[in-house]
Amino acid sequence: MIYGFYAVGVFLASAFLTGLVSIKSDRYVPHIPIAASLVAVLLTIMTLPDVFFWGAVKMQMEEWIAPIGISIVADTLSVTLALVTTVIAFLILLFSYRYINRNSAKYYSLLSLMFAGVLGILYTGDIFNMFVFFEVLSVSSYGLVAFYRNRVSLEAGIKYLIMGSVATSMLLLGIAMLYGVTGTVNMADLALKLPFVGGMVPAVALALIMTGIALKAGIFPFHAWIADAYEGAPSPVSAALSGIGIKAGVYAMLRVVFIVFNAPTIVLDMLLVFGVASMLIGALLALGQDNLKRMLAYSSVSQMGYIFMAIGLGTALGTAAGLLHIVNHMIIKSLLFLSAGTVLWKAKSTNMKEIANTVRTTPLMTYSFLFGVLALAGIPLFNGFVSKWLIYVASFEKMPLLTVIALVTSAITLAYGLKAFYAVFLSNEKAGSKVVLPLSMKIPLVVLIAIIILLGVIPQIGIWLAEMMSGSLNPSLYTGVVLG
Amino acid sequence: MIYDANMLQQMILLFALFFAVSLGIYVVIKKEVRGTRAGRIYVGGEDLRPDDVDISPMDFYASIERTLRVKRVADLHNGDLSRYLMWMIIGMSVFMIILVWGMAL
Amino acid sequence: MIEYLIAMLAVLLGIYAVAFKDNLIKKVLGLSIISNGIHLFLISIGYRTNGGIPILKDMDITSFAQLAVDPLPQAFVLTSIVINLSVTAVALSMIILVYRHFGTLDASRIRELRG
């Protein structure tokens, strides 16, 4: 009984209930998703003991046996990511309570659907089911990016939609090819049958699936939509997309590459190369930005590059470092986008200089952004340091040049982070109107700061988590649990 | 454990954190330590007035941006949807060529 | 065999339409063409020459399994049709709003977000 999977149903129910309730009155529209996310956190916590005791737990939908039915699998990787996802979902929904100044049922419905999609991707063991949840996530995010319906958001939305649809179509084509040669779409069963299939079809299918997932994961050359989409979306939605949506893409890539295809070396090398490219391109583009949200968007591209480089190294330490960086970055990027949101709440534009002239920032806003930047750059005492240090060590063992590139990119990360911090928060201290943050916007910032400092000061937690999570990328463990 | 952050490192980090936090509390509480004062600026052998040394954060990294050719990379992201889709197609073709060559031949 | 070729041709034509045509409506039409190609591909995977409809009636299980066409790709296609329907609906409504704000449907002229 995987309680965590029912969180998907809880979010779906909240999406529909929000719509229904809004017909009568708008007053309680935000409360339903916030309550639903609390229930989801509870359900995920209830799944933790079983998963950490057994290693991986599975359940079949409607009691059709594997591999004919859809398997729901919870192993340490999925349940850790699901826990972080549900907690951040609660914080984002709480933040939106006052940020979105009207109780819009469309916004809360779409956001609940987005979280339902992400949790579905994390728990499913069936590749076509994963495609369906991918589409749930994608379509609701198309609507959320274009939520404000002004020039910027609409242009961002239509571009994201077209690029995203092409990518998910390629994903479906790859899945169709896999079904054609093996006759199954269960990921564990595919892992068993694919080594016996010869010819070009598995390679072509993998290429198609990887392009579909790589767009969601935001790595070069599929990163072009990220800056526009994060600029056009409301800040809590950008936090959700960057903190959670991108990570669903990375998780799907990990499942497909490591479990279904058993991580051939050529694939890992390719991930390494594209990861390094994303790292550099994202960092350089973020350095040249005037716009706060676009800078954070390109920074996400860069950090995804770190993750793919670490995973592409192929060593145990590298994989663990990459997985830990996924968790760390979820928290850091959500903090940065929410903190930027507090500033942009009352500002008239996203240009950094103009924000400084119109908003007088409070200490909480300043410190939250500063801690986010320091954690992003990998400064000790914050959680980013732990995962980045592991990445440096792991890449040094494989090729010292990679460590040099990673260090240079970290320096550029610190550069653009501090540039944004100085421009928005430190210059022009007396100008602008004072902003009084409501409690519902302060709580997410404080909670995220506390988690960042906690994981940074006690690195054992992060290292233990990384070790636990990398155990789930073992195909024989996975197939053993699913197929019995 | 794949990596052992040992006891000594942890103690050092905790002491550093404790020191930083107490220093911060001291600065916040003691009024005479808090607050800014403008002193004499003495740089490069001459006194300067504050208006002469205004560094805008936007131009701070201009020289670095020039060496690393950030403008060239930024111009490739000019907003043209057809160009973005063309990169996606080229990326997909590269994936396909490399994977077929690496996995099936 | 020929169905697979036509399906792949449709996918390639759809990708050409999305990537190389400037009008937004043509791009969305390209998305539809891609999905049509993929659906044809999926159904052809499940097809069995001279096979029967996958509805069990007056037959025992083994001969049914040998004679019927594979129903699973058909389920995939139904799911995908519904997904593409919703994507097309969202896309077209966004295009209407884009036209209202920008006055043009030319994707190379809707380029305010750059860098």
Question: A238 and A293 in contact (C-beta within 8 Å)?
Answer: yes
Cα–Cα distance, A237 to A243 (Å, whole number): 10
Count the Cβ atoms, other than its own, within 10 Å of residue A194.
19
- Residues from chain A that touch B103, judged by Cβ atoms under 8 A, are 202-203, 206, 264, 266-267
* Whether B58 and A352 lie within 8 Å, measured CB to CB: yes
pLDDT single digits (tens) C30-77:
999 999 999 999 999 988 888 888 888 777 888 888 888 888 999 999
Cα–Cα distance, B87 to B74 (Å, whole number): 15
pLDDT of residue C83: 96
Helix ranges, chain B (H): 7-29, 62-67, 70-75, 81-103
Tokens of A436: 């009084």
The closest alpha carbon to A399, from A299, A324, A314, belongs to A314
Residues of A with CB under 8 A from a CB of C: 128, 132, 135, 139, 142-143, 146, 149-152, 154-159, 161-162, 165-166, 169, 172-173, 176, 179-180, 227-228, 231-232, 285, 288-289, 291, 294
The dihedral built from the CA positions of residue A262, A264, A265 and A270, taken in this order, carries a sign that is negative
- Residues from chain A that touch B1, judged by Cβ atoms under 8 A, are 463, 467
pLDDT of residue C102: 92
Cα–Cα distance, A306 to A20 (Å, whole number): 43
Q: Is the predicted pLDDT of residue B1 greater than 60, yes or no?
A: no
> Measured between CB atoms, does C18 come within 8 Å of chain B?
yes
The closest alpha carbon to A208, from A243, A246, A239, A167, belongs to A167
Cα–Cα distance, A190 to A471 (Å, whole number): 20
Distance from chain centroid for Cα A143:
18
Return the C-alpha torsion angle A251, A253, A254, A259, nearest 10: 120
Distance between the two ends of chain A, CA-based, in angstroms?
16
Tokens of A254: 């990990």
Cα–Cα distance, A136 to A143 (Å, whole number): 11
Average pLDDT over residues A128-145: 96
pLDDT of residue C88: 96
Cα–Cα distance, A30 to A44 (Å, whole number): 22
Question: A292 and A350 in contact (C-beta within 8 Å)?
Answer: yes
Cα–Cα distance, A81 to A72 (Å, whole number): 15
pLDDT of residue B75: 87
Cα–Cα distance, A249 to A210 (Å, whole number): 10
pLDDT of residue A54: 85
> Measured between CB atoms, does B81 come within 8 Å of chain C?
yes
pLDDT of residue A429: 62
Amino acid at residue number A155:
E
Cβ neighbours of residue B63 closer than 8 Å, sequence gap 6 or more: none
Q: Is the predicted pLDDT of residue A166 greater than 80, yes or no?
A: yes
Helix and strand numbers, DSSP H then E, in chain C = 4, 0
pLDDT of residue A444: 94
Amino acid at residue number A283:
A
pLDDT of residue B17: 84
pLDDT of residue A238: 95
pLDDT of residue A69: 86
pLDDT of residue A10: 96
pLDDT of residue B70: 87
Q: Is the predicted pLDDT of residue C19 greater than 60, yes or no?
A: yes
Average pLDDT of every residue of chain A:
91
pLDDT of residue B2: 58
Give the residue carrying structure tokens 């007088």.
Answer: A360
In percent, how much of chain A has pLDDT > 90?
74
- Residues from chain B that touch A284, judged by Cβ atoms under 8 A, are 68-70, 73
Average pLDDT over residues A140-147: 95
Question: A15 and A112 in contact (C-beta within 8 Å)?
Answer: yes
Residues for chain A: how many in total? 484
Secondary structure of residue A57 in the 3-state scheme? strand
Hey, what CATH class is C2-102 in?
Answer: mainly alpha
pLDDT single digits (tens) A350-406:
677 667 777 778 888 889 999 999 999 999 889 999 999 999 999 999 899 999 999
- Closest partner residue to A139 (CB to CB) among C80, C90, C102 is C90
* Whether C101 and A156 lie within 8 Å, measured CB to CB: no
Tokens of C17: 């339409």
Average pLDDT of every residue of chain C:
91
pLDDT-based confidence at residue B3 (cuts at 50, 70, 90): low
* Whether C94 and A128 lie within 8 Å, measured CB to CB: no
Cβ neighbours of residue C60 closer than 8 Å, sequence gap 6 or more: none
Cβ neighbours of residue A207 closer than 8 Å, sequence gap 6 or more: A174, B92, B95, B96, B99, B100
pLDDT of residue B32: 63
DSSP-derived secondary structure for A302-371: HHHHHHHHHHHT-SHHHHHHHHHHHHHHHHHHHHHHHHHHHHHTS-S-SBHHHHHHHEEPPHHHHHHHHH
Q: Quick one: DSSP state of residue B52?
A: G
* Whether C107 and B77 lie within 8 Å, measured CB to CB: no
Q: Quick one: DSSP state of residue A5?
A: G
Q: Which residue in A has a C-alpha nearest to residue B96's C-alpha?
A: A207
Tokens of A33: 């998703």
Average pLDDT over residues A331-344: 93
pLDDT of residue A114: 96
